[in-house]
Amino acid sequence: MQRQPTIEWQTNGICNYDCSYCIQSKKFRQGHPSDEEIEKFLAFFARLPRIWEIKMSGGEPFAFKGFMDKIIPGLAKLPHHISILTNLSAPLSILDKLVTLVGDKLSVVSVSLHLEYVEAPEFIDKVKQLRQWLRPETSLVINSVLVPNTLENLLAIRGLVEGSSLKYFPQVMKTKHGVFPYTESDKALVVQLTGKNPSAKEANLAPSYRGLVCWSGVEYFVLDQKGHAWACRTAKRFQQGYLGNVLADTFELKSLPMPCQYDICPCTVPANRGMIEGIKINHEN
């Protein structure tokens, strides 16, 4: 599989939920770009050579009014592919508008199931409706954080999801410093939910790819709501791999891939876009 150049853009910090297991602290779940800054982001994307995938997340993107008012109409005019990570709390009328505006560009829609805020059957019904509106080529994936003490319930929910011909994507729960230390009995349930040796397409186990050549910073980067760009999420956490600021015109990509130097790769996007050499790859999340 060819590498798919990809930007993970945190369009805004604000979120309409406050999940107990959220890895973004409340301090960082705030703020959004101004109209003027959105125009600068769009101008930056317009200048990019080649076609990139712009995967947007927050906070919660739809919780920011400018997301549907400015960002999506702006991206509709650009050639890039669009992906979205959302808690799917936006009303169906808004999701319908999204598909009308950029349905032909949507690559991956990742919808996160947060059982502290929604009931699984209603959530699945909403996802089924969205699936009907999307092109067959658009991937639609239900993310599910494997929250301790809820795993038996999640097994039943996985059955409901797969029984609706939808894709269930389990993710181990992360903490600030790595993966949550599950109890022995929960570990067995985690394996039931993820499978024994899942690929990055099948589950997110937040593995280590230390030593493998990675194209992050070259054909993949993360971009925050203030315009700061970093080679990858882990690099950002360690305040390394800074690529400059796209709003201040100081952004510059690295020219060469480098061996990964980290013990955790918390997100499957780089793996599933072909950025990490020598692992099983797939472009579905």
Is 56 a residue that touches ligand SF4 (CB under 6 A)?
no
Q: Which one of residues 4, 83, 87, 150 is an interface residue with ligand SF4 (CB under 6 A)?
A: 87
Residues 100-159 close enough to bind ligand SF4 by CB under 6 A: 114
Amino acid sitting at position 189: L
CB atoms near residue 50 (< 10 Å): 8
Query: Binding to ligand SF4 by residue 55, rule CB under 6 A?
Result: no
Q: Determine if 22 is a binding residue for ligand SF4 (CB under 6 A).
A: yes
Binders of ligand SF4 among 247-276, rule CB under 6 A?
A: 260, 262, 265, 270, 276
Q: Are 227 and 247 in contact (CB under 8 A)?
A: yes
**CA 33, CA 31: separation in Å to the nearest integer?**
7
Q: Which of 168, 209, 221, 230 binds ligand SF4 (CB under 6 A)?
A: 209
For ligand SF4, the closer CB: 28 or 182: 28
Q: Pull the structure tokens for residue 170.
A: 């389990």
**Closest distance between ligand SF4 and the C-beta of residue 18, in Å?**
5
x-or-dash string of contact with ligand SF4, 223-252, rule CB under 6 A: ---------x-xx-----------------
Evaluate whether 204 touches 268 at the Cβ level (below 8 Å).
Answer: yes
Instruction: Give the number of residues in contact with ligand SF4, rule: CB under 6 A.
Output: 22
Residue with tokens 């054909």: 219
Q: Both tokens of residue 24? A: 């973004």
At residue 106, what are phi and psi to the nearest 5 degrees? -70, 125
What amino acid is encoded at 109 in this protein?
V
Q: Element (H or E) spanning 110, and its range?
A: strand 106-113
Residue 66 has which token pair? Answer: 């400018």
Please confirm whether the linkage preceding 59 is cis (ω < 30° from 0): yes
CB of 213 to ligand SF4, least distance (A): 9
* Residue 276 CB, nearest approach to ligand SF4 (Å): 5
200 binds ligand SF4 (CB under 6 A): no
Q: Is there binding between residue 18 and ligand SF4 (CB under 6 A)?
A: yes
Pick between residue 227 and residue 266 the one whose CB is nearest to ligand SF4.
266
CB 29 → ligand SF4: shortest distance, Å? 6
Cβ distance to ligand SF4 smaller for residue 105 or 274: 274
Distance CA 100, CA 180 (A): 40
> Contact residues for ligand SF4 (CB under 6 A)?
15, 17-19, 22, 24, 58-60, 87, 114, 209, 214, 216, 232, 234-235, 260, 262, 265, 270, 276
